[in-house]
């Protein structure tokens, strides 16, 4: 099968497009490096087994988003529910599919599945839509590489010790397609969202000109 690489969109761009196309415009213009939290999250994701039994003093030396007892409790519960996370077939691998490309945290086999790692905070249940879109993109890229369907995936909120499994539903695939279209056709700044929750958590809120209540970020959209 042919692969139009010039039309391929980075996973991180898709996540930003799902959050706000205008944010994607600014991010592409500035070409900023991802913050250090992304590297910290990947470091944690590579040590789950050891961290699950580490002392509170040892855990306190890591860049956790929650207190060590909560992190350890979350992580032990996550490993109980999702044991495959600690035993992947591949880790930190770059994949390129028909529509998108980027780094995935883990690849699993039997059945084929994928994990993405994020330094952000999990919602009360499920996953945030930008991370859902990113995960669908990763799953589709892996399916393209392997020529085999991928129906399930994980999102690892590594700095919280939380793993959420998701199914690649029709609704999630449709959100991915919308983000892919936005990522491919973006040309100039799109209209503002005027969404207090999203705009308040966006690093470009001052420049964008939206009035917001807070600048603290609950989400992290990821690097490639």
The domain ranges of the chain are 5-208
In this predicted structure, what is the pLDDT of residue 217?
45
Rounded Cα–Cα distance for residues 43 and 75 (Å) = 14
Residue partners of 186: CB distance under 8 A and separation at least 6: 17, 21, 24, 25, 28
Tokens 């690093």 sit on residue: 203
Strands (E) across the chain are located at 9-10, 90-96, 100-108, 113-118, 152-157, 162-167
- Over the stretch 141-190, which tens digit does the pLDDT of each residue have? 999 999 999 999 999 999 999 999 999 999 999 999 999 999 999 888 88
* pLDDT digit string (tens) for the chain, length 224 residues: 444 555 899 999 999 999 998 889 888 888 777 778 899 999 999 999 999 999 999 999 999 999 999 999 999 999 999 999 989 999 999 999 999 999 999 999 989 999 999 999 999 999 999 999 999 999 999 999 999 999 999 999 999 999 999 999 999 999 999 999 999 998 888 888 777 678 878 888 888 865 444 434 444 555 55
Rounded Cα–Cα distance for residues 92 and 104 (Å) = 6
Residue partners of 120: CB distance under 8 A and separation at least 6: 128, 131, 157, 217, 218, 219, 220, 221
In this predicted structure, what is the pLDDT of residue 2?
42
In this predicted structure, what is the pLDDT of residue 208?
81
Q: Of 7, 2, 17, which is closest to residue 129 (Cα–Cα)?
A: 17
| Alpha helices per DSSP H over 147-185 | 170-185
In this predicted structure, what is the pLDDT of residue 212?
43
Q: Classify 5-208 by CATH class.
A: alpha beta
Bridge partners of residue 10, in order along the sequence: 101
- Over the stretch 13-25, which tens digit does the pLDDT of each residue have? 999 999 998 889 8
In this predicted structure, what is the pLDDT of residue 1?
41
Tokens 């990821």 sit on residue: 222
Rounded Cα–Cα distance for residues 107 and 145 (Å) = 12
In this predicted structure, what is the pLDDT of residue 6?
59
Q: How many CB atoms lie within 10 A of CB 177?
A: 13
Rounded Cα–Cα distance for residues 162 and 160 (Å) = 5
In this predicted structure, what is the pLDDT of residue 186?
87
Q: Of 158, 63, 82, 90, which is closest to residue 118 (Cα–Cα)?
A: 158
């Amino acid at each position: 099968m042919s692969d139009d690489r010039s039309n391929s969109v980075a996973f991180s761009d898709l996540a930003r497009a799902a959050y706000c196309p205008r944010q994607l415009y600014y991010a592409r213009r500035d070409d900023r490096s991802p913050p250090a939290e992304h590297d910290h999250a990947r470091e944690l994701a590579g040590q789950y087994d050891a961290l699950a039994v580490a002392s509170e003093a040892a855990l306190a030396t890591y860049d956790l988003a929650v207190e060590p007892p909560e992190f350890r409790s979350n992580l032990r519960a996550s490993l109980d529910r999702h044991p495959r996370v600690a035993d992947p077939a591949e880790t930190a691998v770059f994949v390129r599919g028909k529509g998108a490309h980027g780094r995935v945290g883990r690849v699993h086999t039997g059945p084929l599945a994928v994990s993405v790692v994020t330094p952000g905070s999990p919602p009360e249940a499920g996953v945030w839509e930008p991370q859902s879109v990113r995960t669908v993109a990763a799953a589709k890229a892996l399916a393209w590489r392997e020529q085999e369907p991928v129906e399930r995936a994980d999102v690892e909120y590594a700095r919280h010790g939380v793993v959420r499994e998701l199914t690649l539903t029709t609704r999630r695939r449709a959100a991915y397609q919308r983000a892919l279209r936005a990522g491919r056709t973006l040309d100039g700044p799109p209209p503002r969202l005027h969404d207090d929750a999203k705009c308040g958590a966006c690093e470009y809120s001052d420049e964008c000109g939206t009035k917001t209540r807070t600048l603290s970020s609950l989400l992290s959209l990821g690097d490639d």
